[in-house]
Amino acid sequence: MLEAVGLDFDHDIELVLAFLNTCDAEKGTEVLDDHAQWQRWCTERGLVVVPEVEAAREIRDTMRSSVACGTRPTGLANTTWPVQVQLRNGIPSLVGVDALGSVLVAATRLVHTEHWERIKICPAEDCLWAFYDRSRNRSRTWCSMRVCGNREKARSWRERHTPA
Does residue 101 register a pLDDT over 70? yes
Q: How many domains, the chain? A: 1
Does residue 147 register a pLDDT over 90? no
Residue 48 per-residue DSSP state: P
Mean pLDDT, the chain, whole residue set: 86
Range of the domain at 138: 3-160
pLDDT in tens, 33-92: 989 999 999 999 999 987 789 999 999 999 999 898 766 655 555 677 888 999 988 889
pLDDT of residue 79: 72
pLDDT of residue 160: 79
For the domain that residue 112 is a member of, what is the CATH number? 1.10.3300
**131, containing H or E segment:** strand 130-132
Measure the CA–CA gap between 106 and 110, rounded to whole angstroms.
6
Does residue 153 register a pLDDT over 90? no
